[in-house]
Amino acid sequence: MKNKLSLFFLLLSIFCYSQVPHCGFDFTSYLVVLPHENGNSTVINDLQITVVDEKGNEVLNVDNSLSWINKDKALLFDRNYLISKSTEKERWFFPYANESYFLSVTNTFPAENYSIKISDAKGIYKTQIIQLQPFNLYILCSSENEKQSRQFGPRTNRPIEVVMEKK
C-alpha cells in the first residue's frame, strides 16, 4: 500500500510539474489605439472607436466569438484609466498601454478581416476608417510573443497611432 501511495504521489508531482504554466492573458489579445493631433501627443478625449467590417458596419461579438466580454454587442473600445491612488506609482487598468483606447479580443481574432472606425460625436475631427493587421494585436503571453519574434515584418504590442484631422 505504501509503495502504491508513493507511486501515486510521484506520478502526480511529475504530471503537475510537466504542465506549462498559463499566462494571465492566455486566450486574450488587445487592440490599442492612440488618437492624437499632428504635433501633439495628447490622446484626444470623447472619441468613439468601433470595429467595422468591409462595408463600414459595426461588428457584433456573436456568441463571444471575437471577444470574451460583451456577448452579442458591438466591439467598442474603452478608454484606459488610472487605477492607482494619487500617492502611489502610476498604474493603468490595462498596464501595457498608458493613456489610450483599448479593446480586449480573443487571441484568434482575425484582425485582417476588419477595420476600426474612429468618430467624434462633437464633430471636431473627421471620421477615419483604418484597416487592421495581425501585427496590431497586443499578444501578451510569452509563448505567443516568442512565435512573433521569429517572424519577419512589423512587431506586435505596439499601439495603432492615428493622427486625427480637424474638419
DSSP string, 62-87: GGGSS-SSSTTSB-B-EE--B-S-TT
**CA 111, CA 126: separation in Å to the nearest integer?**
23
Mean pLDDT, residues 23-42: 85
3-class DSSP assignment, residue 162: strand
Q: Per mean pLDDT, which of 16-20, 51-55, 96-100 is the most reliable?
A: 51-55
DSSP state of 129: E
3-class DSSP assignment, residue 148: helix
Q: Per mean pLDDT, which of 66-70, 94-98, 141-145 is the most reliable?
A: 66-70
C-alpha to C-alpha distances, 149 to 1, 38, 146, 152, 154, nearest whole angstrom: 51, 31, 5, 8, 10
Tell me what percent of the residues of the chain surpass a pLDDT of 70: 75
Mean pLDDT, residues 18-46: 80
Q: What is the pLDDT of residues 52-74, one digit of tens each?
A: 999 999 999 999 999 999 999 99
Closest Cα partner for 114 from 130, 138, 103?
130
Q: How far is CA 161 from its chain centroid?
A: 14
33 or 135, higher pLDDT:
33
13 or 52, higher pLDDT:
52
Least confident interval from 12-26, 58-72, 88-102: 12-26
Q: What is the mean pLDDT of the chain?
A: 83
**CA 94, CA 50: separation in Å to the nearest integer?**
18
The cell numbers describing 133, all together, are: 493587421
7 or 86, higher pLDDT:
86
CB atoms within 10 A of CB 63: 8
